Structure 1
Amino acid sequence: MSNTLKGQVRERLGSRHCRQLRQQGLLPISVQGGGKPNADLSVSLDEFQAARRHHERMFDIEVAGGTNETAVVREIQWDSLGENLIHVELQRVTRGVEMEAEIDVTFVNQFRGGVLNVTHSTIMVRSIPSLLPDVLEVRADLLEIEHFLFARDLKLPEGVSLASDPDQEIAVVVGAEGEEADAEGAEEDEDAASVPKVGEKPKPSDD
């Protein structure tokens, strides 16, 4: 599935001009790849955000006075607070032709009983553009202590195959034993500190 956006060619580049576009409700974007020069465009910020709320990743861009583009989102840039979109990079694609793309892996539902260490937050997948998922969700509450999650363990949508190394580690669940051991070690250090050294007078008791 794709969404249609109306684009305008950006005649001027640079952060100052991009800031002016955003003040007008426009979003600066760049369409790259496909053996063609980059296309620097602007589209409606509201329309793009509305499409993203429905997890749209593929867009048909109708460029006024230019060449229409079909592309998928490759990178979204936010401001320093992570609240406002400032720029989007898209990759040209051909409908019905398989491609590889990097997909975010996110963990949902709270994990209890240990610490979830995420080692890789993205994987590479292969599919036709219209079937590319926006994100892959993993239920953290179903993971067990000392459980290793590999790329091969991820459930991919129909029509999508794994392009990353199947043995790529995604996350590991670590138990709380390490924290307990640290606490015990700290107690032992305190006990050792209370024992007087050779030739040292013992400290008077509080009793």
Structure 2
Amino acid sequence: MTDGKLSCEVRKTLGSRSARRLRAYGRMVASLQAHDKDEHVNLHFDEASFHALRRNHVHLFDLEFDGKSEAAIVGELQWDSFGDTLQHVEFKRVVRGEKTESEVPLKFRGTPVGVLTHDLNEVTILCLPSVIPDAIIVNVDGLEPGTHVKAKDVKLPDGVELVIDPEHDLAVITELRSGPQSDGEEKGEGEGEDA
């Protein structure tokens, strides 16, 4: 959860043809959202440097361009239709020392006794940009069928709040399929063959 400098250049030419050309030279296209009096800025930077920072769990970036530095976090990553290649990065301006909302994935840890079901893969959190976690861990190890894990039950890292109804179910453990049901299906198949 360190921060990292990313040397950027302002995109002078926009459009998909220009973006493809930049990507062919190992550049990633991006935009920095407008905030208050700040303007929306279109950027490009070295793709390998960005991925290296992400692998080192960087969440707070210092985007350096036009002789200045802007603090930002990733607001959205846009992938190709196959989900294999990163196409565009949308950055959100932030102020160091001020809490901001961001989206982080939910990670379910452990093996429940029943079947795990959940309707969210990521959740909105509120915290300082410098302490954004890689994920929110939801422990489901050994939980029995009928157990509901609510947002208020999740242990959060220091300084991190969930921006969600505390009563919202993050996970529900349901019954495993019973054996007799599958036996009945097999019997039905056998009866069909005899007819």
Same fold (TM over 0.5): yes
Q: Is the 8 A contact 2:31 2:89 kept in 1?
A: yes
Shift of 1:113: 4.7
What is residue 9 of structure 2 aligned with on the other side? 8
User: Equivalents in 2 of 1:48, 1:119: separation in Å?
Assistant: 30
TM-score, normalising length from structure 2?
Answer: 0.85
Shift of 1:21: 1.0
- 1:131 paired with 2:138, answer no
Assess, with a 3 A threshold, how the Cα gap between structure 1 residues 194 and 23 changes in structure 2: closer, same or farther: closer
User: Equivalents in 2 of 1:126, 1:117: separation in Å?
Assistant: 25
1:101-180 to 2 correspondence within 5 Å?
101-108=102-109, 111=111, 113-177=113-177, 179-180=178-179
What is residue 96 of structure 1 aligned with on the other side? 97
Q: Secondary structure at the match of 1:68?
A: strand
Instruction: Give the partner amino acid of 1:168.
Output: H
Q: Secondary structure at the match of 2:96?
A: coil
The worse-fitting range, judged by mean Cα deviation, of 140-149 and 30-39 is 140-149
Could you tell me the percent identity over the aligned residues? 36
Instruction: Give the partner amino acid of 2:171.
Output: A
Shift of 1:47: 0.8
TM-score, normalising length from structure 1?
Answer: 0.80
Q: Give the unaligned 5+ runs of structure 2.
A: none
Shift of 1:108: 4.2
- 1:72 paired with 2:73, answer yes
> Which residue of 54, 57, 65 maps to 2:56?
54
Q: Is the 8 A contact 1:120 1:169 kept in 2?
A: no
User: Equivalents in 1 of 2:193, 2:3: separation in Å?
Assistant: 70
Assess, with a 3 A threshold, how the Cα gap between structure 1 residues 91 and 181 changes in structure 2: closer, same or farther: farther
Shift of 1:156: 1.2
Instruction: Give the partner amino acid of 1:58.
Output: L
User: Equivalents in 1 of 2:170, 2:58: separation in Å?
Assistant: 25
User: Equivalents in 2 of 1:135, 1:190: separation in Å?
Assistant: 46
Deviations 1:137-193 (A, max 9, x none): 33444544332222112221111122211111112222213x545425425645876
Q: Secondary structure at the match of 1:49?
A: helix
What is residue 45 of structure 1 aligned with on the other side? 47
What is residue 30 of structure 1 aligned with on the other side? 31
Q: Is the 8 A contact 1:121 1:170 kept in 2?
A: no
Shift of 1:84: 2.2
Q: Is the 8 A contact 1:114 1:173 kept in 2?
A: yes
User: Equivalents in 2 of 1:174, 1:11: separation in Å?
Assistant: 54
User: Equivalents in 2 of 1:32, 1:40: separation in Å?
Assistant: 9
Deviations 1:110-151 (A, max 9, x none): x36532212111222211111121322334445443322221
User: Equivalents in 2 of 1:38, 1:91: separation in Å?
Assistant: 10
Q: Give the unaligned 5+ runs of structure 1.
A: 196-202
User: Equivalents in 2 of 1:53, 1:194: separation in Å?
Assistant: 57
Instruction: Give the partner amino acid of 2:185.
Output: A
User: Equivalents in 1 of 2:34, 2:154: separation in Å?
Assistant: 28
Q: Larger C-alpha radius of gyration, 1 or 2?
A: 1
